[in-house]
Amino acid sequence: MRLPAPLFSLALLTATTSATNFTGDVLNGVPVISHLDISEVPSRRVSRYYLRVGEINGGLPLHIPVFVARGTPESLKSGKKLSLSAAIHGDELNGVRVVQRIFEQLEGQVGQLNGTVIGIPTVNPMGIYLNQRNYFTSHNSGWLTNVNRVFPGVAASEGGSGPELLAYNIWNDVWGNRSQVDVGIDLHTPSSGGETSLWCYADFRLPYVERLAKLLQPDTLKIDPGEPGSIETTFVDNSIPSITVEMGLAKVWNASLIERVYDFVNRVLDDLSIVPSNSTESYVPDLSKTYIANTFHDSISKYGGFVEQLVTVDEPVTKGQPIANIRNVFGDILETVYSPESGRMFQSPRDPSIEPGASVGQIAYNSTDPECADGCIL
């Protein structure tokens, strides 16, 4: 029987001093680790692991899948290290397929790869199991935590809860407390019920973030100061260029959007010289269809009822233009909502049923308020 490569390396590693901690378990044929040290991962190979991220009540262990594509031995130090992560929100699934496809491709390139690519196709398996955004914590009758607000997490020894431990383990035991990542791409979609095309959050204050965002060639590029506790902002706070990519709809795999983001990751691999470049010229992004804006402005419903869209995603709007009607159950109009500014509708509800306080559509535009120069969300 041919041993899978990581198991073979386990045998080698136990003979030496190992910084990658194998727990000894094998799950679905994949070795389980509690800490990843990329220098211990076989070079010129794509390896798969499950990272143990604590247990849930009753002692059931939790694991998240991790890919590592390590290139040539010398490129461990000289090459760049890219992280791809997806599905920190359990209903946001387009990015899962992007990570899978990139690692399928890297199988054929890894022999010559100049650097390392780490992939986490599903950051929040708990959310995927529940088919919704958050992580479910069960004590005190239970509550839901947005894992993209608790990075870099809290250690179990410091009292970390399940979602905080998940974040802590990813930050420290996959990304090595920043030491195993040079550039990070975190893949999302809008939450369930919302609709958009392709856009990203980008904090232009850190060098290379603007370049990364432009390589995406998104429909909308949001200049943004970031969100504390998110993967993107935790990377940026640690001087690691990163963007949050938003793709289409929750709970679907949209082949054309997956293709666009897959092509984007390839442009990044090329830009970072991780794959051999086809050209000596650096790529010039095509931004002819990209709307760049520093402000997102949400409009909300005052009523519970049904929302009727009057403007579709990516359509231009002018200030005062009706963007949606809120109808009651008999079809009467309770409220017409008007655009707060001139700009572009970049995200709107797909689900017609609506409750008070929920979004009826978000407009992107450039605010002239100096406070919004680095980005605003209103």
Ligand X SMILES: *[C@@H]1O[C@H](CO)[C@@H](O)[C@H](O)[C@H]1NC(C)=O
List of residues contacting ligand X (CB under 6 A): 21, 34-35, 75, 78-80, 114-115, 172, 177, 197, 248, 254, 256-257, 266, 270, 272-273, 278, 291-293, 366
- 78 versus 131: smaller Cβ distance to ligand X: 78
| Whether 55 contacts 126, CB under 8 Å | no
Across the chain, how many H-helices and E-strands are there? 8, 22
Residue 285: partners with Cβ closer than 8 Å, 6 or more residues away:
214, 215, 217, 267
What is the distance between the alpha carbons of residues 7 and 16, in angstroms, rounded to a whole number? 15
The minimum distance between CB 223 and ligand X, in angstroms, equals: 6
Least distance (Å) between residue 176 CB and ligand X: 9
Of 35 and 45, the one with the shorter C-beta distance to ligand X is 35
Q: Considering the complex, what minimum distance in angstroms separates the CB of residue 274 from ligand X?
A: 7
Q: Report d(CA 84, CA 187) in Å as an integer.
A: 8
Using the minimum distance from each CB to ligand X, give the nearer residue, 112 or 131: 112
Peptide bond into 152 cis (omega under 30): yes
Q: How far is the CB of 198 from ligand X (least distance, A)?
A: 7
Q: For ligand X, which is the closer residue by CB, 153 or 162?
A: 153
Query: Considering beta carbons, is residue 36 or 326 the nearer one to ligand X?
Result: 36
**86 burial class (0-12, 13-18, 19+ CB within 10 angstroms)?**
buried
For residue 12, give every residue at least 6 positions away whose Cβ sits within 8 Å of its Cβ, in sequence order, or none. Answer: none
Q: What are phi and psi of 251, to 5 degrees?
A: 60, 25
DSSP summary character for residue 49:
E
Residue 111 DSSP class: G
To ligand X, the closest distance from the beta carbon of 293 in angstroms equals: 6
Closer to ligand X by Cβ: residue 158 or 332: 158
31-67 per-residue burial string, b: 16 or more CB within 10 A, e: under 16 = bbbebbbbebbbbebbbbbbbbbbeeeeeeebbbbbb
- CA angle 249-251-257, nearest 5°? 45
Question: Of 83 and 197, which has the nearer Cβ to ligand X?
Answer: 197
Q: CA 309, 313, 314: angle at the middle one, nearest 5?
A: 135
Residue 189: CB minimum distance to ligand X, A: 10
Report the nearest approach of ligand X to the CB of residue 182 (Å).
9
Residue among 292 and 334 whose Cβ is closer to ligand X: 292
Residue 136 CB, shortest distance to ligand X, in Å, is 25
Closest approach, Cβ 143 to ligand X, in A, equals: 26
Q: Using the minimum distance from each CB to ligand X, give the nearer residue, 137 or 366.
A: 366
Phi, psi of 61 (to 5 degrees): -70, 145
